[in-house]
A and B are shown apart, each in its own frame.
Chain A
Amino acid sequence: MKKVLIANRGEIALRIIKTCKDRGIETIAVYSDADAELPFVSEADYAFRIGEPPVAKSYLNSDKIIEIAVSEGADAVHPGYGLLSENSTFARKIEEAGIKFIGPDWQTVEKMGDKIIARKTMLEAGVPVVPGTIEPVADVEEGVKIAQSIGYPVMLKASGGGGGIGMIKCDNEAMLIQHFASSQQRALSYFGNGSMFIEKYIENARHIEVQIFGDSFGNIVHLYERDCSVQRRNQKVIEETPSPFLTEELRNKITQAAVLSAKAVSYTNAGTVEFVVSESGDFYFLEMNTRLQVEHPVTEMITGIDLVGWQLDVADGKPLSLTQDEIRAAGHSMEFRLYAEDPVTFMPSPGSINQLILPENEKVRVDCGYKQGNSVTPFYDPMIAKIIVSDSTRESVISEAEKFFSDLTIEGLKTNAALFQRILSDEQFRKGDYTTAFLAKQPTKK
C-alpha cells in the first residue's frame, strides 16, 4: 500500500494522514469549496476539489471520488466516519475498481447498515438485542399493537438510520400515532428506506460500546469498551474508557458479546458494537458501526494501539499484530467533542474561528480539523475538535480536563466549552454516576 485516498474532511482526514505519513504512505485529499482553506487539504500530498459545499455535491459524490482514486492510482480508500463510510454501494464500487476499501467487505456494511437485519442476525447468533420488533412494522396500526405489547415508552426507529439519526422516543400511543407517518416519510427521503421498527425504551440506560477488530485470517479481538452515555440529541458529547459503571464481570460479558457479534458476520477491519446497558446491568445490542469511530482515540490512549495503523495493515492483507491476551489497557482516557454550538440550547453556531489558543498539556491530545482563521460552515457536522485527556486515574483525568478548559481560548463563535466545565464540576459526573439522560436533566443555568 503506497497511496491512500481519504474520502472525508476535517479532523478525521488529518488523523488518517498522520498515520499514513508515519508509514511513508502518500495521501490524496478531496475537498469541497467550503473546505479549501482547512489544514487537511494542505497536509495531504495531493488534493482535489470535488464540488460545491453541500455534501450531496461533494463528499457524497461517490462517482467523482472513485474517478479521482482511479486516475491518481490510489491503492486504497479510507472513508473515515459519517459521509460515505457506511455506504455499501460506495464500498462495492471501490472494490470493483480494483481498489481496497479500508473497512469490512461491502456485504457486511450492507447487512449491518440495515438495523432490522442487524438485529435479526445478532438474535440468531445468541447476542441479546433490545426487546422489540424483528420484522419491519407495516403501518401505524400494527405499530400501536406492538407498542402496547412491549409497553411504553418505546423508541420508533428507521431501519436505514443509526448513529442516533432517524429515531424518536414515544411516551404514549398519541405520540406514536403523531410521529409514525412523518418518521417513515423522513426515513424514506433521508435513507431511501422507509422500513420502521420499534424497540422498548430502556430507562436510565447507559450507552456502552466495544471496539472490535478482525483480520482476513479469521482473527477477531476486542479492544475494551467506551462509555458514551453523555449525549445531547442522541449525539455523543463525552466518551470515556474504562466505563466507570462496568464491573470486571460485566466488562467480560459485554466484550465477549461484542466478539460474538463480530464473529456472526466474520468481521474484518475496525468496527464498534454498541450496547444499551440497563441500571441492573442487563445489556442489549443496539447496532454495529462498520467503520472507525469518532471516539477511537480514547481506546488508542489506553491500549497504546494506533487503530488507523491496524486498519491499514488489515486492508493490506496482514494479520492482526497482537492476540487478545497481548492487548492490555492501562489508565483512563476521556474525549470531549468541542462543538460550534450554544452551550445551553445546543443550537448550532457556525462562524469564523478568530482566535484559537490550545493550552499545552502533555496529558492532552487534541485532534482538531481547523486552525485559527478558518470558518466552521453550516454545511457539515459542528465538531471543531476532539480534546482527549488521558492519565493514570479518572480523578486526575478530570482535573487535567478542568485545567485545559479553563485555559482554552476560542473566539469568534459559540462553543460548548462552558458545558464541559459544568459537567466536570458536577458531583454525579465526578462519581461516574450518569446515564444517557444526564444532559437533559442538567439545569439550564445561564
Chain B
Amino acid sequence: MKEITASMAGTVWQVLVAEGDTVSAGQSVIILESMKMEIPIDASEEGTVAELKVASGDFVNEGDVLVVLK
C-alpha cells in the first residue's frame, strides 16, 4: 500500500484517475487548486489505484491522503 498525499491545502479541482487504473511514477493523479493556482499531485511510484479518498470539490489539508495505491 502506498499513499499519495496533498502537498498543500487546497480544493480538489480534478481527479485524473479512477479506481483500478494503473499509474506510473511521475504521472499526475489529482489537480488541486490553491490560491488561484493549479497544483498537480503526482504518483511517486507505479501502482494500481486501490482507493480514491477525495472527489472534485473537496477541501483537503496538507498531508491528507488523496489516493491509495497497491
Secondary structure call for the B interface: strand
C-beta contact mask, B30-68 vs A, less than 8 Å → 1, else 0? Answer: 000011110100000000000000000001000000000
Q: Given the complex, which residues of B lie within 8 Å of A348, measured CB to CB?
A: 8, 10, 34-35, 37, 39
The answer to whether B34 and A350 touch across the interface, beta carbons within 8 angstroms, is yes
Q: In the bound complex, what is the Cα–Cα distance between A341 and B36 (angstroms)?
A: 12
Chain B, residues 1-24, CB within 8 Å of chain A (1/0): the string is 000000011110000000000000
Is the CB–CB distance between B37 and A340 below 8 Å?
no
Count of A-B contacts with CB under 8 A? 36
A348, chain B: closest CB distance, angstroms: 4
Q: Return B42 CB to nearest CB of chain A, in Å.
A: 14
Residues facing B in A363-389 (CB within 8 A) are 377-382
Q: Is A54 an interface residue (CB 8 A)?
A: yes
Instruction: Please classify how large the interface on chain A is, using the bins under 10, 10 to 19, 20 to 34, 35 or more.
Output: 10 to 19
Cβ A233 vs Cβ B35 within 8 A: no
A381→B11 contact, CB < 8 A: no
Q: B57 CB to closest chain A CB, in angstroms?
A: 8
Contact present for B36 and A381 (CB under 8 Å): yes
Complex CA gap A294/B70 in Å reads 47
In the complex, residue of chain B having the shortest beta-carbon distance to the beta carbon of A383 = B35
Tell me, yes or no, whether A347 is within 8 Å of chain B by CB. yes
User: Does B8 lie within 8 Å of A347, measured CB to CB?
Assistant: yes
Most chain A beta-carbon neighbours within 10 Å: one of B11, B36, B37: B36
Number of chain B residues close to chain A: CB under 8 A: 10
Instruction: Provide the bound-state CA to CA distance between A379 and B59, in Å.
Output: 10
Contact B35 A340 (CB under 8 A): yes
Contacts of B36 in A (CB 8 A): 380-382
Question: Residues of A contacting B8 with CB < 8 Å?
Answer: 347-350, 378
From residue A234, how far is it (CB to closest CB) to chain B in Å? 11
B48 to A: closest C-beta gap in Å: 25
Q: Mark A336-361, 1 if CB is under 8 A from B, else 0.
A: 00001100000111100000000000
Q: Which of A348, A380, A382 has the most CB of B within 10 A?
A: A348
A67, chain B: closest CB distance, angstroms = 25
Which residues on B sit within 8 Å (CB–CB) of A381?
35-36
Residue of A nearest to B61 (CB): A378
**Pairwise interchain contact B9-A54, C-beta atoms closer than 8 A:** no
Residues from chain A with a CB closer than 8 A to the CB of B37 are 233, 347-348, 382
> Other CB < 8 Å A-B pairs besides A347-B8, A348-B34, A350-B35, 14 of them?
A54-B59, A233-B37, A348-B8, A348-B35, A349-B8, A350-B8, A350-B9, A378-B8, A378-B35, A379-B11, A379-B35, A380-B35, A380-B36, A381-B35
Question: Which residues of A come within 8 Å of B, CB atoms?
Answer: 53-54, 233, 340-341, 347-350, 377-382
- The 7 A-B pairs at the shortest CB distance, nearest first, are namely A348-B35, A382-B35, A378-B9, A378-B34, A378-B10, A348-B34, A381-B36
Q: List 16 A-B contacts (CB under 8 A).
A: A53-B59, A54-B11, A54-B59, A233-B37, A341-B35, A347-B8, A348-B8, A348-B10, A350-B9, A350-B35, A378-B9, A378-B34, A378-B35, A380-B35, A380-B36, A382-B37
